[in-house]
């Protein structure tokens, strides 16, 4: 039906090589031009050269989570349609907070579903692009670790300049959109901390045995 001389370009982002290969082969067989990336940072580097029509991204990846990557994509490349793929959610509904146009449950959904999602998004790409412009895209981040003083910190990637900087977390906020200023370009970065992925919790620390009195130490 679509006899466009320029093949549609698809960027596949997944930390598992086997998944990248399977997706790439399947999409190439349909005539798409496919580029792959191992994680969010790798993908952002490739996006300096490449302007895909569609990005298919895993959600659970090391270095930069798919949640954060897709937030950056929605802000920086609002015209690109996105399919989130994950083995961690059992439904066909886009998981809450994920800025994606479609969801593919790896290992559960028939691979043909991925192809039909791609085809549907290409058909409606101009509509998607307009809808994306109206969205304000926060960055989703898990707690990242503790600094040398034991204070938990997160790493935020600026949605404007794409540079990353750490920010200390002193209390467990409700999962709502917070704001901070980028250390580099002064852009206001909106973010949500995904506490379900947290590795440390300052509030739990306070009730530990540190304040016990009358110890024999
Ligand atoms: Zn910045």
Tell me the pLDDT tens digit for each residue of 107-128.
888 888 999 999 999 988 887 7
What is the extent of the structural domain holding 33?
A: 9-133
List b or e across 41-56, with b for residues whose CB sees 16 or more CB atoms inside 10 angstroms: bbbbeebeeeebbbbb
Both 74 and 178 in a single domain?
no
Asked if residue 85 is part of any domain, the answer here is yes
Structural domains counted in the chain: 2
Count of Cβ atoms closer than 10 Å to residue 192 Cβ: 19
CB-based contact 55:78 (threshold 8 Å): no
pLDDT for residue 184: 93
Q: For 150-206, how does the pLDDT look when each residue is reduced to its tens digit (9 = 90+)?
A: 888 888 888 778 788 888 887 776 666 788 999 999 888 888 776 665 544 444 333
Both 80 and 175 in a single domain?
no
Six-digit token string for 59: 């959600």
Both 185 and 97 in a single domain?
no
CA of 4 to the centre of ligand 1 (A): 37
Please report the sign of the dihedral spanned by the C-alpha atoms of residue 89, residue 144, residue 140, residue 67.
negative
Both 128 and 40 in a single domain?
yes
CA of 200 to the centre of ligand 1 (A): 27
CA of 208 to the centre of ligand 1 (A): 38
Residues with Cβ–ion distance below 5 A, ligand 1 = 158, 160-161, 182, 184-185, 187
CA of 7 to the centre of ligand 1 (A): 34
150 φ/ψ sector (left φ>0, alpha ψ -120 to 50, else beta) = left
CA of 87 to the centre of ligand 1 (A): 32
Instruction: Tell me the three state secondary structure of residue 29.
Output: helix
Query: Between 174 and 217, where is the model more confident?
Result: 174
Both 83 and 20 in a single domain?
yes
CA of 181 to the centre of ligand 1 (A): 8
Both 77 and 148 in a single domain?
no
Both 195 and 112 in a single domain?
no
Asked if residue 214 is part of any domain, the answer here is no
Both 41 and 90 in a single domain?
yes
Whole-prediction pTM value?
0.65
């Amino acid at each position: 039906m679509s006899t466009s001389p320029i093949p549609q370009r698809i960027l596949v982002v997944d930390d598992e090589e086997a998944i990248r290969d399977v997706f790439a082969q399947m999409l190439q067989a349909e005539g798409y031009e496919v580029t792959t990336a191992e994680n969010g940072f790798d993908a952002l580097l490739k996006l300096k050269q490449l302007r895909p029509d569609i990005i298919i991204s895993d959600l659970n990846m090391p270095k930069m989570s798919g949640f954060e990557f897709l937030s950056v994509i929605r802000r920086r490349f609002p015209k690109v349609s996105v399919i989130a793929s994950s083995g961690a959610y059992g439904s066909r509904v886009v998981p809450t907070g994920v800025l994606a146009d479609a969801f593919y449950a790896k290992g559960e959904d028939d691979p043909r579903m991925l192809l039909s999602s791609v085809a549907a998004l290409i058909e409606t790409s101009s509509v998607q692009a307009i809808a994306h412009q109206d969205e304000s895209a926060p960055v989703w981040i898990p707690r990242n670790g503790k600094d040398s003083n034991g204070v938990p910190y997160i790493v935020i990637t600026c949605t404007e300049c794409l540079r990353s900087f750490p920010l200390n977390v002193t209390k467990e906020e409700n999962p709502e959109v917070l704001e901070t200023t980028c250390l580099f370009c002064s852009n206001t970065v909106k973010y949500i901390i995904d506490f379900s992925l947290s590795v440390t919790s300052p509030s739990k620390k306070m009730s530990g045995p540190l304040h016990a009195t009358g110890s024999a130490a």
